[in-house]
Chains A and B, each alone.
Chain A
Amino acid sequence: MLNEPSGHRRNLFEVDNARNLSRHELVETFIPTQSFWRLLSAKHHVLLGARGQGKTALAKMLSHDHLALLAQTRDEPRAQSAVRGQEFIGIYLPTRLEWVGGLKNKFWLNEKEQEELFQWRLNIASCIAFIPVASSCICTYVDGRAKQAQAERELTKLLSKDWVIEHNAAFEDLLQLRRHLEDTDYWKEIRIVRERARGTPLSGDFPVGLAFDLELFTPLRQGIRHLSRLLSINPACTWLLCLDEAEFLGVMHQRIINSHMRAYPDNLFIKLSTMPYCHYTLATNIGPELVPGEDFAYVNMDSDRVLTARTRGEADTIGTRFGRTLFRKLIEASDPQILTGGDQSPDQGPPSVSDVLGPSEILDPWRERWEADSPNMQILEKYGSAETIARAHKLLGSPGFRFAIGRKINGPLLLRKQVDELKGNKALTAYSGARMAIRCADDNPRRMISIFNALLMLRSREQKRRMATGRRAPWISAEDQTRAMRTLSASILNHYRSFPEVGPELHAFICMLGEYMRADLHDKPLTTDQVTSVMITDTISERDWHLVCVAVGQGLLHPNVGSGNPDEMPWREGTFHLAYALAPYFFLLPRRGKAAKLTAIQEFHRMSLKQREGLWASQLAQTSLFDEGREP
């Protein structure tokens, strides 16, 4: 197997992408979600997930070598049944930037030639991806080294006969065959450039990879057939071809894959992973368009109910528990050195994320104490709107107070006070604590790992300092955590200035939303509802809609999808909340709030300071006409 561990454990907080994890590392740290189990089915799927949401982890985990290890090392009955019963065999095939870059640079080819080239390259790539899966199947389903070697030799012979038809090739094993296929792909590229440079098509005496000129996935099906016969694979086995990173493909490429989904309802099913709004077309090359729900189904990872739901009696959402579990798994699978010099004794076991980061002063409920002259009430009287203060006094002491006022306004008040008092050397502490770190990751594993890593690096520095001074403290200071969170938040936004095609516009668009939300929280008397979402209608311009789509794909905006059909992405109208990852940058509370219309935000953006003050005053006057504090 490739990428196998050498026995050395890395610091997995340094690896925020499943692509760069070895098989053992990924299997050890993988947390199966509902989306994952949905993909393990005999159906074509298009998996939608923002950048960093874990699409690659899911796609890789479906491949047989990973699933077999999961079944072997973890108590996962569904994986065990899929592998032992030969119910599903998955093949992982990334269509990443470098691969697609070799397709899109042939600008001189006409559409037919481009289609043929894509089909040829996808054919050979799928066969190359099949080879490690075939090895894994032989290891899993054939007993004894000698028989395994014999099966591999036999399979190599069969595959060579089908896949290498230009000359008589004799390969010892699958690795040799695979290297030959990689060379073939390279020589195909060279042949095309050679033809371009010479200005004439090459004669037939230089054939390259003729076997892959066949219809899409025909060579792969030949391979599947040989392997199935050789190992007597369950005839009812479903083969899954996981095409990862399809956002890099073009419309024409996706149309060809769509055609396959439409035309082949047999035992090979496509799992196409891409970003939201990056399944660019439903068109096919065989007439009718694909029909979602019939020809295939969308699986929207961003609305994965496993992450957003809350189990009865639990303080944490399952997403928060996911974050805590991920932290524990990364600690357990990492080099123990990352914890040395810490405060825990060896027999205490690894620390939890709460041990390391402590509580959140803004999000954890333990500080919510409200009495007539309590500090909380004093802050409310300073920053709250007249209506909110009056309502708070009216409800104070009643059972409804916490639900109608306290729970909603406590966090915003504490944040507002801190930001208001921020001057000189005084440091902000609001963005600290385990719950805050996890919340600001938007249930996005890559973001979560980046945040954990940044904070663990702080911990490491802090420990060295403490050891030098002999001072002990239970966790990283809230000031340091907040500083790190704000730096990360700014860095996420800044990276988008150069983003392909829309960089400066996207950056300005997100800043416009964030600035409006910041002003809503910090510049006007507080009510129990803060704006953290934007509402768009079908009057939105093409350009703005494109920016919304890109922002959703990048995980900068999240659609508030309905619980009735969580896999359906909103189209040109709907409500989107700003990523919590950007909350520290804009001084926002990472919590779902009410929405403002995009047109209102754009109008606000064009206003002078004086006009904005006038706007807040008029809005407050309107608010007082309604019964404030109800659920939006």
Chain B
Amino acid sequence: MKPIRVLDLDLDDVCKEQYDVSLFASGYESRCIHVPGLIDPSIVANTLVFGFTEEPKSGSRVHNDAFFSAKWKREPIPLSGDDEKPIYEHLHKHTESLGDPIHILLDYSSMSRLWYAAALNWARFAASGRTVVIDFVYAMGIYEESERPFVIRKMVSIPGCEGRAFRLRESVAVFGLGFHGLAALCVLDHLEADTVYAFLAAHGARTEYTARTREANKDLINHRKTKAVLELPLVSIETCYRQLAETIGPHRPDGEITLVPMGPKPHVLASILLAMRFPEVACLRVSSAPDPADVKPSGDIAVTRVIVKGDS
């Protein structure tokens, strides 16, 4: 397995770069256009905007589509949050004639995790041996309290993150905590791991989010199987990646480790990267029915550079 390098950057670094391809998402959240609004289109050679086919008229969707059309001169390519094939096809088409390395900008603030995992899988397996540098940009959001329960729709591995699933040894579950504590408990009930770790965002978009996450997940945090609860920064995936790797270290290579990121997307990205790095680590995607609540940008941005040397 080839190593994946993970580095923290600033938005200023992004603005000084030149990208071969950029990937944006248009959905019902108003933060979809926050990052694309801060970036000059001239730094990107080819822009791809994917528009969710789910809830196509909800929230700020119409406004977001109009923004991409006006500023980036692109109409969203319709794509379900449960599909990713067009991402492979478009990346292939736009990079076929390029040299080494390939530079990609990806705003995953409002993106399906299947889509940004696909960008990584493309870099791992379909970039014809070239080095792929992906700058992941995330606009932190303001989440209002939702009365709507998180009803689990699916619990499946993210493609390329299946791990080695043979329960003949110790099993470890690592939960990334969000605001839906009962859903996390429900997943734990299904996984029935021997040992549990949990992690949550230490400094989210708002300072009270840490306490809110702790309160929502107090049953899991106080669960007798939970050995440690880590507070990890939201702005530094490099730190999250390293600390999560250290946490699971004692259980590798013989343990079966399942990451269940249910919190903010930078922590999801860190989990996916870890599962792609270590064969014995799986990353589960726990999805619910769409909840078209608006998420506004808080103004804070996290940028992460991932460097992958793909298979030839």
Contact = CB atoms under 8 A, between A and B. Distances in A.
A99 B166 contact: yes
Given A98-B256, A186-B164, A197 B88 contact: yes
Given A193-B160, A194-B125, A199 B167 contact: no
Residue from the set A19, A104, A196 with the largest chain B CB neighbour count within 10 Å: A196
Nearest to B127: A197
B282 A98 contact: yes
A194 B162 CA distance: 13
Interface size class of chain B, counting residues whose CB lies under 8 Å from the partner chain: 35 or more
Contacts of A270: none
B186 A106 contact: no
A101 B88 contact: no
Contacts of A182: 164, 166
B157 A102 contact: yes
A347 interface: no
Contacts of B125: 190, 193-194, 197-198
A500 B155 CA distance: 9
Contacts of B293: none
Contacts of B164: 182, 185-186
Nearest to B191: A97
Contacts of A504: 149, 151
B172 to A, nearest CB: 11
Given A20-B192, A197-B121, A500-B151, A494 B182 contact: yes
Interface of A is mostly: helix
B158 to A, nearest CB: 7
Contacts of A97: 155, 190-191
Contacts of B256: 98
A19 B126 contact: no
A28 B171 CA distance: 22
A129 B156 contact: no
Contacts of B224: 14, 453
B153 A17 contact: no
A6 to B, nearest CB: 12
B246 interface: no
A198 B151 contact: no
A145 B155 CA distance: 45
Contacts, number: 143
Nearest to A96: B167
A93 B169 CA distance: 13
Contacts of B83: 107
A108 B85 contact: yes
A496 B182 CA distance: 8
A94 interface: yes
Contacts of A495: 182, 185-186, 189
Given A102-B162, A107-B82, A501-B152, A128 B168 contact: yes
Given A2-B168, A132-B168, A194-B125, A498 B186 contact: yes
Nearest to A505: B151
Interface in A488-516: 491, 494-504
A128 B285 CA distance: 26
B307 to A, nearest CB: 18
B156 A101 contact: yes
Nearest to A19: B192
Most interface-central of A102, A104, A197, A453 (chain B CB within 10 A): A197
Interface string A1-37: 0110000000000100101100000000000000000
B152 A500 contact: yes
Nearest to B163: A98
A18 to B, nearest CB: 10
B165 A498 contact: no
B160 to A, nearest CB: 4
A498 B192 contact: no
A632 B183 CA distance: 41
Contact of B92 (A3, A102, A125, A199): A199
A189 interface: yes
B186 A499 contact: yes
Contacts of A502: 151
Contacts of A196: 85, 88, 121, 159
A101 B284 contact: yes
A498 B282 contact: no
Interface in B112-151: 118, 121-122, 124-126, 149-151
A98 B192 contact: no
Nearest to B190: A97
A256 B182 CA distance: 34
A504 B311 CA distance: 46
Contacts of A491: 219
A105 interface: yes
B149 A98 contact: no
Nearest to A98: B165
B180 interface: yes
A183 B279 CA distance: 9
Nearest to B310: A197
A105 B157 contact: yes
A217 B180 CA distance: 41
Contacts of B169: 2-3
A48 to B, nearest CB: 18
B194 interface: yes
Interface string B273-312: 0000001001011000000000000000000000000010
B168 A194 contact: no
Interface centre among A98, A182, A196 (most CB of B within 10 A): A98
Contact of A197 (B124, B154, B158): B124
B208 interface: no
Contact of A193 (B85, B159, B186, B189): B159
Interface string A177-203: 000001101100110011011110000
Contacts of B122: 197
A106 B161 CA distance: 12
B287 to A, nearest CB: 10
Contacts of B85: 108, 196, 199
B182 A498 contact: yes
B167 A19 contact: yes
B92 A498 contact: no
A154 B194 CA distance: 35
Interface string B92-116: 1000000000000000000000000
B64 interface: no
B22 interface: no
Given A2-B169, A199-B92, A501 B155 contact: no
Contacts of B186: 495-496, 498-500, 503
A153 B13 CA distance: 58
A189 B162 CA distance: 7
Interface of A: 2-3, 14, 17, 19-20, 51, 94, 96-99, 101-102, 104-108, 125, 128-129, 132, 182-183, 185-186, 189-190, 193-194, 196-199, 453, 491, 494-504
User: What 10 A-B pairs come out closest when comparing CB atoms?
Assistant: A102-B162, A194-B125, A498-B183, A99-B165, A105-B156, A98-B165, A197-B126, A500-B152, A498-B182, A101-B157
18 contacts: A20-B194, A96-B167, A98-B258, A99-B165, A99-B166, A101-B162, A101-B282, A101-B284, A128-B168, A182-B164, A186-B279, A190-B125, A194-B126, A197-B88, A199-B89, A494-B182, A497-B149, A498-B149
